[in-house]
Structure 1
Amino acid sequence: MQYLYFVDRLSMFTGKAFAWCIIILTLGGSYEVFVRYLLNSPTGWAYDMSYIMYGALFLMAGPYALSRDGHVRGDVVYRLFPQRVQAGIDMLLHIVFLLPGVAAMMYQGAFYAQESWTYMETSIFSPMGIPIYPLKTLIPFAGLLLFLQGTAEVTRCVWCMKHGYWPQRLRDVEETETAIMHQQEAEHGDKLGTGGQA
């Protein structure tokens, strides 16, 4: 369990650190709209900034989403299964698809980043020729974090198959729909408790 929480915390820290990219994207985009359409003086850096920030955010948010079970899943049938069966399905999919995929991402991404650093690669889409080798360095790093989180998810599946229930995940944020559902469950439980006492 300590390994699970260590990897979950690492993914949470990384995800929250890179979430600041959203603020930079919003401010930079708003500034670009203002100067382009009101002052008729577009910047030369806004596209490059959004390209880099969005790329970094996209890469580094994956482990965080996986740690929160936030990736999209076709669970119409899956959620009807007992938790042990769910864990077996998840473990199979993690071992067969996720872990080999992110291992390939780390392996190939390391060569990709190394090559980019060798000639200090700049963007061919940028009129300013911004360097993109730092962004490419995030590819193997994101792969490593995804691999660690993937092994934590396999550990979580083994725990569930052994004990019959999922171990608790770290909580920090919830979707509004999930928060409302939990609130309704709590209210429904309170009513049942009150009714039982009456």
Structure 2
Amino acid sequence: MQRLALALGRAAAWLFVAAAAVTVWEVGSRYLFGAPTTWAHATTAALCAVGFALGGAYAFARNEHIRITVLIDRVPPGLRTALEVLALGLGAVYLAGLGYAAWNQAEEALWRFQNGAWTPELTPGPPNWPLPAIVRAGLAAGTLLFLVLVVLRLASLARRR
């Protein structure tokens, strides 16, 4: 599962490159040609949102996530392990709740049909891309992947004890 998180994280990094390219395009269109786009802001926000959603699991898989270690570094190893288990347990509860909510929103945004045709949630203006549905699906996928990694690390700590 860690390999999947790392591969998705590396791929998600390119979403930020694409977001930067869209931003450059928008600035050029607006200020050089006087023709601002209607799609650049929504597209950039969607690309960055999916990138961040997948980036959490990537950072956790690399053990490079943000941690406040001022207390944990000053306690004996046995207590440190207990605090690690507590932190991972609380993280798992949080991610399970977030994943549940994200899954419900993604399901509502993606699985929409009218007159037999698939109609995912679209952006409110032109070009009517399914960006909201993609963002919700990306958040659900990133959260569930992060949750699986946390549970696997908890299981690893339990086996070590």
Q: Per the shorter chain, which TM-score range? A: 0.7 to 0.9
Contact 1:105 1:139 in 2 (8 A): no
**1:71 is aligned to 2:70:** no
Name the SS for the 2:95 alignment partner: helix
Contact 1:109 1:140 in 2 (8 A): yes
1:23 matched to which residue of 2? 17
Question: For the structure 1 residues 68 and 159, does the alpha-carbon distance in structure 2 shift closer, same or farther, using more than 3 Å as the test?
Answer: farther
More divergent stretch after superposition (86-95 vs 11-20): 86-95
C-alpha distance in 2 between matches for 1:71 and 1:109: 21
* Paired AA for residue 35 in structure 2: S
C-alpha distance in 2 between matches for 1:146 and 1:115: 22
Deviation beyond 3 Å, 4+ runs, structure 1:
126-129, 155-160
1:123 matched to which residue of 2? 123
Name the SS for the 2:67 alignment partner: coil
TM-score by length of 2: 0.82
Unmatched 5+ residue regions in structure 1? Answer: 1-6, 163-198
Q: Which has the larger radius of gyration?
A: 1
Unmatched 5+ residue regions in structure 2? Answer: 113-118
* Paired AA for residue 140 in structure 2: P
C-alpha distance in 1 between matches for 2:8 and 2:145: 9
Q: Could you tell me which of 10, 14, 31 is aligned with 1:37?
A: 31
C-alpha distance in 1 between matches for 2:25 and 2:81: 47
C-alpha distance in 1 between matches for 2:81 and 2:7: 26
Contact 1:88 1:157 in 2 (8 A): no
**1:139 is aligned to 2:139:** yes
* Paired AA for residue 111 in structure 1: N
Shift, 1:156, TM fit:
4.2
C-alpha distance in 1 between matches for 2:63 and 2:149: 11
C-alpha distance in 2 between matches for 1:30 and 1:90: 43
Shift, 1:92, TM fit:
0.9
* Paired AA for residue 72 in structure 1: I
Shift, 1:57, TM fit:
0.5
Give the root-mean-square deviation of aligned CA atoms.
Answer: 2.0
Contact 1:32 1:43 in 2 (8 A): yes
Shift, 1:109, TM fit:
2.0
Q: Equivalences for 1:161-180 in 2 at 5 Å?
A: 162=161
C-alpha distance in 1 between matches for 2:104 and 2:38: 30
C-alpha distance in 2 between matches for 1:159 and 1:81: 22
Shift, 1:69, TM fit:
2.3
TM-score by length of 1: 0.69
More divergent stretch after superposition (47-56 vs 62-71): 62-71
C-alpha distance in 2 between matches for 1:28 and 1:66: 28
C-alpha distance in 1 between matches for 2:14 and 2:87: 31
Q: Equivalences for 1:45-84 in 2 at 5 Å?
A: 45-84=39-78
C-alpha distance in 2 between matches for 1:40 and 1:92: 55
